[in-house]
Amino acid sequence: MTTTLLLEIFAGFFTAFIALWVLALNRPTASVTTTLESGTGPSASPSSIPANLRRGLQTYFLREGRLANTGLLILRLAIGAMMIHHGQDKLADPQAFATNYVVPLHLPFPLFFAHVAGYSEILGSWLLILGLLSPLGALALTGTMTVAAYHHILTSGLNIYVLELVVLYLGGSLALLLVGPGRYSFDAGIVDGLLADSSASATNASAASESSVPYGVVVEAS
């Protein structure tokens, strides 16, 4: 897999998600209708997101602070850009990687796991760079770097000069997995839209229920 092909696929991913994002921004908003004549009140509307889940999504994806979000963006770009070529090297000669790194771990199907490691690093790097499904991307890189750290300890012991690069990648990927991608990501835009739609649906449903009038109530003068 050449660098040119990687850049073409990356451009394809980026263009596709930009198109999806534009479509999402122009989607029609949900409306809440009332049926007074039937006496049924407001029609069924999407249920609002529970408060605990809402707070968790806001904390993880919609972090406050420009400097903090800029730092997370820089970390995502740095780790993603540097990890791509590691995955490319693995896929350039998967048999050599399987022989030198997978076989000493006594894992079955070493060639299969060599391909898994290579694609995990490339796809995980793209997801971090785009900030799309970033927890999955961070998890993929954390998994491969954990296995790499175990391999280095198993074969070379606690050699700092062998472990330092792996530990840096592992620490950065794990930090992104735990902290989140920050606001400058596709994930943040998607979550922000979901929370806004949920709030609007809940507000419309509440307003419609308050404005509904019982049907068929007649007061006769005595």
199 dihedral zone (left: phi>0; alpha: psi -120 to 50; beta):
alpha
pLDDT range class, residue 211, cuts 50, 70, 90: low
What is the pLDDT at residue 26? 63
What is the pLDDT at residue 77? 94
- 27-36, 116-125, 152-161, 178-187: which has the minimum mean pLDDT? 27-36
- Residues 80, 121: Cα–Cα separation, whole Å: 8
62 Cβ contact list (under 8 Å, min separation 6): 183, 188, 191, 192, 195
Higher pLDDT, 19 or 46: 19
How much is the pTM?
0.73
Q: What tens digit of pLDDT does each residue of 169-201 get?
A: 999 999 999 999 989 988 888 888 888 766 666
Q: What tens digit of pLDDT does each residue of 101-132 get?
A: 898 888 888 899 999 999 999 999 999 998 88
